[in-house]
Chain A
């Protein structure tokens, strides 16, 4: 039987202790490895942990490893594998060389395992958000070449050429649509699009990243899926114009997001209303809509602010998010239209840009993307002035701190959804950021292909 051929932007599994939001890598990891819990629109579903129980106060959690979870080299997956992964990730650094936030979330957690199939976490305070955290952990083992490609997932790696290609084969008698997969790397989105239309491949991901405007050609079938990623501007809340909440609300009214999405992003985005996407926990409870485009009201609000005569520094990289420079030029124009003086500063080195933002060298506003699918993580990393984490930009609001604490202490799923909804509702009305949009990702499929679905994290799911 011929392999199902997929073109991704990159073919990489990354080192075992690196968490990523890259959709290509996540797609491969989802096929070959397994997350400890599966994230499904804010809620945790069984993954490598097939079930779990917790104490009433949410401080004690017991996770049971799926029966017959066996790595592709034949070794059974036991608690040691998971605990050593967690320990290693707490000690490692992210792609920008910064310590992972997980070390902070789990600083007081005590891990143990009474039996090889059970993992126990004890925390001095409630931590139901552990489920969000665990959904980002994919457990792997190294193959003899030192690649983290031995997992417990539905597909095993037959041949892997880093950065180029990987051949996969389904494990066991399959209910899966495809028994063999051939995944190839093609960095250029336009080339991926061409290869799909020329029927060289069966599927191509991330076609929204094309230089040319993507069009739904009838020679293929298309799936467009709003992503959990938020594209936004950090507003410097610790000084300057945006220390004022009025100014922050004004810029949210000043930018024509619908126009931006249509003209700059080719219609491939939806406007955002708060710090997370519609798929995050709490969004539905928040009951919020994107800020309207109202330059007159923006001017009126700005008129009440001090420091309008000063130049606003708008910082931008060239990539991540996609079309960063074009978006920033659009925002500059809209902000100048309501009376602000805006100077664009471009940083071409993207990793350095991230490090600068981490050091709070963000000018007055700086474009960024927020990728975690956990509402808890975004509030903890970027909003809370209590944690003052690496991505926090000076936003201080005692009301949101109380709401976040309440949400963090909630244990059951409905209680958490309500509590996080309250946080998101508050952040909509008292914005720490200039909310822009959630990108729409495009998956192209050869006509007639079935059993393939793009999920909100941008991952191809094979059914």
Chain B
């Protein structure tokens, strides 16, 4: 812990990322307790009001408080990001670790499929999948998770390949430890570092991609407050009432920035040379 604090102290960008993330989390988790305004209640008599004390970020076309929608939208957006990464992690790591550990034709089949998925631009693939599944938040999350899973599979395979020839794995085999237990307790546990770095970097991508699908109408559906969908819904009023589209847009920017800064910092943390240099 002392090492981590020292590391953060010396790494300004990591501290900034952590601070941003903590602030965002505090805001989206705690602030809804202090407001009675609903993010979905419409009042057409208060359309597109400019920022004021009553509405710090103004109101949108439906008279809803933009600040409240950004806060509630953060809950959904961050939860979506985390959910998508968990799903991608589970899918990608499961296949990647098996491919790397078992090798042979299993490795070939899994990795060629992963290569095929990686050959598509991720957003294009996500759009195609979301369009095929139908427009809904669950389907959008699934689509983004599928596009992110190959990256986890690649890293997991590399880790499994390296770890599976280590003496302690050989020893476990000789002792008769079952393959699933070796995979979970030896390979995954010892190769988790780069996967966590990948996960933290993927969080930003997941938020961006889900927001992009929401922007295209393939993700979260109105009136659910979600940053990407809100940017899209408020785009027609960008000139006259810039705050309605910019607010959720800035929120996306800050969230993705915080995750990327943390991801970079984690990469340094898990790299012994860089950690020592810091």
Contact = CB atoms under 8 A, between A and B. Distances in A.
Q: Are A and B co-members of a single complex?
A: yes
Interface of A: 73-76, 78-81, 83-84, 87, 110-116
A112 B136 contact: no
A75 B41 contact: no
Given A73-B134, A74-B136, 20 more contacts: A73-B135, A75-B217, A75-B221, A78-B222, A78-B223, A79-B223, A80-B223, A110-B43, A110-B44, A111-B44, A111-B45, A112-B42, A112-B45, A112-B63, A113-B40, A113-B41, A114-B38, A114-B41, A116-B40, A116-B223
Interface in B212-268: 217, 221-223
A84 B134 contact: no
Contacts of A75: 135, 217, 221
Nearest to B233: A80
A74 B133 CA distance: 10
A113 B62 CA distance: 9
B222 A112 contact: no
Contacts of B136: 74
Nearest to B222: A80
A237 B180 CA distance: 93
A80 B42 contact: yes
Interface of B: 38, 40-45, 61-63, 134-136, 217, 221-223
Given A83-B62, A112-B63, A76 B44 contact: no
A455 to B, nearest CB: 33
Contact of A112 (B41, B134, B221, B223): B41
Nearest to B38: A114
18 contacts: A73-B134, A73-B135, A74-B134, A75-B135, A75-B217, A78-B223, A80-B62, A80-B223, A83-B42, A83-B44, A83-B62, A84-B62, A87-B44, A111-B45, A112-B43, A112-B45, A113-B42, A116-B40
A222 B73 CA distance: 57
Nearest to A116: B223
Contacts of A111: 42, 44-45
B44 to A, nearest CB: 4
Contacts of A81: 222
A338 B222 CA distance: 65
Contacts of B41: 112-115
A115 B221 contact: no
Contacts of B222: 78, 80-81
Contacts of A73: 134-135
Contacts of B134: 73-74
Contact of B40 (A76, A110, A115): A115
